[in-house]
Amino acid sequence: MPVQKTLERVISKAGLGSRTQARSWIHAGRVKVNGKVIENPDHWIDFDRDRVLFDDKPLQEKARVYILLHKPAGYITTFKDPAGRPTVYDLITNAGTFVSPVGRLDLDTSGLLLLTNDTQLAERLTNPDHKISKTYQVAAADPLSDAALDQLGRGVELNDGPTRPAVVRRIGESQIEISISEGRNRQVRRMIEAVGSNVVELVRTRIGTLTIGDLAVGKWRELRPAEVQALRGRN
Query: Hey, which residues are catalytic here?
Result: 106
- How far apart, in whole angstroms, are the C-alpha atoms of residue 197 and residue 191? 9
Closest to 4 (Cα-Cα) out of 46, 54, 55 = 46
* Longest alpha-carbon distance in the chain: 66
Beta strands in 96-229 (DSSP E): 100-101, 110-116, 134-140, 157-158, 161-162, 167-170, 175-180, 199-207, 210-211, 220-222
Q: Are strands 134-140 and 210-211 parallel, antiparallel or unpaired?
A: unpaired
Residues 6+ apart with CB under 8 A from 57: none
